[in-house]
Structure 1
Amino acid sequence: MATYILRRALGVLVVMFAVVSGMFLLLHVSPVSPVNQLAPQIAADPVARAAFEHAHGLDRPLVVQYGDYLGGLLTGDMGTSLYDGSDVADQVGRALPVSLELGFLAALLAGIPAVLLGTWSALRQGRTVDHVTRVVTVVAMSLPGYWLAVLLLVSVDDPDYLPSAGGFVRFAEDPVRNVQVLLLPALVLGLGAFAMVTRSLRGGLVEAYASDHVAFARAMGSSRTQVLRRVALRGAVVPTLTVAGVLIGGLLSGTVLVENVFQIPGLGQLMVTAFQRQDYQLALGGCVATAAIFLLLNLVVDLLYLVVDPRTRQGLARA
């Protein structure tokens, strides 16, 4: 088991290295340059441009810049912003908790109803609630996130209870106001995940109820609740966990669109600002943090298999 965990952790490091390398290369070979965002009199002056590039190390060979960036990253140094000279790690550190909070709230709003509705739909297979659930989930998956965000932005605007955009306050300052501001963007962010988890759990439970294990448990006199909890859910949880892990990772790391529409000062909005300013260092720092979140969450899901699936543990024990 320790070998499995070590192998998965090394796999995360390899993928992280590939992500950092790919993003660094793409950003630095791009035809745009942060020099173009300087004042016109500086951007048009070859001497001033050369001085700016030299001061920020942009005139050095790409391999040297890459080596310096990797070395700094290993020590927690993400460099400084090419736009205003601020520390990238500090900016990412301020924005990251906001995105994590938004993603966590979206995961709660998606996960709890999905488990309840998916289970209820499977237990009522072929009945009205099952048909309604399938229609609702298809509609939820089909709604474009940007369209829904804009629709809520213009149609829901109650400054006292559900502010549509702006006015963000941190949880430590005002917990109630913080949740009120994040509720609408969390609903938009979690809607698709809710639909996918509901359908995955329903499908897994329907398949489990048709298995010989459930038939045997019923023949042995197990109650409906016991069959659901001890047999059916165990068979359905593994595929559902796979889907949920990917989706929740996307919720916590893919908040760019929602944060930008609702003016939430998280990691997504930070990256949009960085790309608009053509700020290599800040954009790269945001991408690195986003990739790290996604990969760590997927590592956690892989380790959860060892807890929820006895077959995985037995396979590792025999290996």
Structure 2
Amino acid sequence: MNWRHFPAYLHERFPLVNMALFAILFLTVLAVAQATQPAKPAAFGPQEAVGILATISFFFRLRVFDEIKDYASDQEHFPHRVLQSGRVSLGQLKRVAWAGLVLEAAWSAWMSWGTLLAWVLVVSYSLLMRYEFFVRDWLRARLVLYAFTHLLIMPLIIGWVWSAYAAQPLLSVPLLLLALLSLLGGLSFEIARKIKTPEAERTGVDSYSRSLGYVGAIVAVLVVLLAGVLVQGYLLNLLATRLWPFALMGVLYVVTVGAYLGSLAKPRTKTLKLAELLVSLFMLTSYVSIIVEIAGRLW
């Protein structure tokens, strides 16, 4: 089997920036657990390095599941993609995904039996996602519900990593805030990336601007993002951080609102792409600011 096009696939569908974000997600959970209810002294070693790889592996498998579910549709609408053009095969992607499954199981067992149990739970939910909860047509006709049921994987992944580093009781306010932050961040980005101008809408390609209306989709992403700002503020206050993360979140939100107001006044794909970038930047900075604040105290 020829693997020389696999890097091209990663660049197109699972780029390094995505891997970096998933590594940052792991480090955020690690930092908050060690700052609020550490199960062991703060450190970064081989277990943490493998944990980052395991987290990236899990998200890669979710990408492969999406490729399997959407293969026929993508073949019609995006025939130029690396997978659809035959430069890599679904079989290759599945082999990489299942190899990662072994890595995740090994890391989870290395950390604790509780972590292994949490991993089994999150894998089980991901398999339900893979088969679209066995109500594919019904769920796909309800785009917002579809997104919500699939984004629930985020709090479960947070809980999996949390179980490796937090002392009992595992179910605590910091965990709930992290879980909610991940859910709101994921939902805001999911909506943002599927808002299209009326001219850019394509038959057979789902979008929130079609499901909710152009104005409705923009209002939805701003409301969800505002909820994320409030949760982030609550968590930062709980962690007793300095003022700069609060200010950064506020400025980012105001700039994002400005970008979307501009796209309402004059719908343009370029403006929507800028707004989408700002939403993703909010997700990134919300995690990084937590890591930076805690790292100075612990590591």
- TM-score using structure 1 length: 0.30
Whose relative contact order is higher, 1 or 2, with alpha carbons under 8 Å and at least 6 apart? 1
- TM-score using structure 2 length: 0.31
Larger-Rg structure: 1
